[in-house]
Structure 1
């Protein structure tokens, strides 16, 4: 009995050490597998979108999901189409960042819904309307425009006049990110929004859906008629292509430089690339392609297949 009692603690210690060592081996094996997957391309992870400051090599940046990026791009496009200045877009984006994290939520405090957590019971619209990002952004801008001098007010004050939130100061912390996003999404900051490729499940894109979403968001003048400007085509082995003319007259917010209008459309297309199965976007002899190393805007290798400064070319997966 004495001999057994002396050895039992040693046996237990050996058992614990063995289990710890075995767990360590398993963890190392798992880590090795993940590294191999990453290096081989299987570890890109979930697709992400990034906006970087135009003058920053490694400075200010904001990273979000493709769904969040698409919502942000819609908020911006609805604002500029209604003639709202970039400051209004920044206010709207900061509000949506605080209220929903740029997610189109089907729930919230009491009956709050959507990107801005608007309440049907408070006259913001029906639940179906509020869950439509184009509608919810539009009614936010309608009410913001009713705030006297909103563009000169502190962001928290302007947002609070619209939202009547119980936590009005919460909007302030989102202003830097909202300003970064609005610079890219209004087109003022060129080639600053990129997205990694969505997993290729073999599902082709639908040119009709892309055209419909462009018109619904930017207005019917975006793709006039059914001629060359709004037509789809397939060339060079690539998927259906939509060419969007760049005309500042289509932009209600005082026009602006054609280049800014072009980058607004181009960034919108990249932000919607996952949802609409867009695989390539080009403008001003620069090109973004889903799956390219770095997922960056690059100088076009083939200028004949890339849009100049008078149009944005959107190639859809086929």
Structure 2
């Protein structure tokens, strides 16, 4: 009997020891996670609402808004597309899905949306979604879930509605209407590939050329990049009556900062930097010679 009690006490002591160790490990893990600055983007809506996404999600949301801009589509179209992508993939470029569904919108190659490689291209997938959306009669006047369902033909047609508020906040911000209302924390842009051999004066650098090409592909042909005066940078002239367009492009650049190797974006008297992202958009000193110019510096 005594031996049995000793055995129980020993087992209890071991159990307590294991619990203490697990608690310590959990504490250290949480402390480590909280001490690190997460790479994420937060959008601030005009009504005080906020939406926080990680950089992967934010880059896809910005791409959806950019493709809509390139096609001249209204903010409501962006809201419908974002709500759809949030429901279908949580703004992830998925490699899997129901049957052969893929990508942001879970489009199916077997249903004529494109090849698997095309569907997993966020810009292509967004364009195909908008191709279908604009064919829906009175899509701007329909409830969001009805407009989305006529494109998607989902088995859960009411599910899109639950994401409308979040999508509307993101659309409001990413279309540039609220100015610098989105800020991203980026731990640091990777160094851009070497520009060796491309240092001709007045030429857009090799890295800058890649940025300009990405902007043309997703955001549209205008505005055109200005020639760089030296170093890795790209600048865009923004007309005084196109401030929202300038902010939409600026936020697109920030959301894609990691892949574009962007270290700072400057526009309309504000500057975002990957090295001071926790400070948000800071005011810059007036530079009359660059009024109306959006500039992105590359690492």
Q: TM-score, normalised by structure 2?
A: 0.86
Is 1:133 matched up with 2:134?
A: no
Alpha carbons of structure 1 residues 172 and 213: separation in structure 2 relative to 1, 3 Å: same
For the Cα contact (< 8 Å) 1:282–1:307, is it kept in 2? Answer: no
CA distance in 1 between partners of 2:286 and 2:173 (Å)? 24
Give, in angstroms, the shift of residue 54 of structure 1.
Answer: 3.5
Give, in angstroms, the shift of residue 16 of structure 1.
Answer: 2.8
For the Cα contact (< 8 Å) 1:96–1:116, is it kept in 2? Answer: yes
- Tell me which of 245, 249, 254 is aligned to 1:265: 249
Is 1:208 matched up with 2:212?
A: no
For the Cα contact (< 8 Å) 1:104–1:115, is it kept in 2? Answer: yes
Deviates more, 1:111-120 or 1:17-26: 17-26
CA distance in 2 between partners of 1:126 and 1:29 (Å)? 46
CA distance in 1 between partners of 2:161 and 2:238 (Å)? 34
CA distance in 1 between partners of 2:297 and 2:291 (Å)? 17
- Tell me which of 107, 110, 114 is aligned to 2:103: 114
Name the counterpart of 1:311: 293
- Tell me which of 77, 80, 85 is aligned to 2:74: 85
Is 1:185 matched up with 2:174?
A: yes
CA RMSD of aligned residues (A): 2.6
Deviates more, 1:18-27 or 1:215-224: 18-27
For the Cα contact (< 8 Å) 1:284–1:307, is it kept in 2? Answer: no
Alpha carbons of structure 1 residues 303 and 33: separation in structure 2 relative to 1, 3 Å: farther
Alpha carbons of structure 1 residues 26 and 277: separation in structure 2 relative to 1, 3 Å: same
Alpha carbons of structure 1 residues 180 and 221: separation in structure 2 relative to 1, 3 Å: same
Name the counterpart of 2:202: none
Name the counterpart of 1:17: 13
Contiguous gaps of at least 5 residues in structure 2: 194-206
What pairs up with 1:1-318 in 2 under 5 angstroms?
A: 5-6=1-2, 8-10=4-6, 12-14=8-10, 16-17=12-13, 20-21=16-17, 23-24=19-20, 27-28=23-24, 31-32=27-28, 35=31, 39=35, 43-45=36-38, 47-56=39-48, 60-198=49-187, 203-204=191-192, 206-223=207-224, 229-231=226-228, 233-234=230-231, 240-247=232-239, 257-292=241-276, 294-300=278-284, 302-304=285-287, 310-317=292-299
The alignment covers a number of residue pairs equal to: 286
For the Cα contact (< 8 Å) 1:51–1:61, is it kept in 2? Answer: yes
Q: 1:91-127 CA distances to partner (integer Å, 9 max, x unpaired)?
A: 1111111111111112211221211111222222222
Alpha carbons of structure 1 residues 73 and 230: separation in structure 2 relative to 1, 3 Å: farther
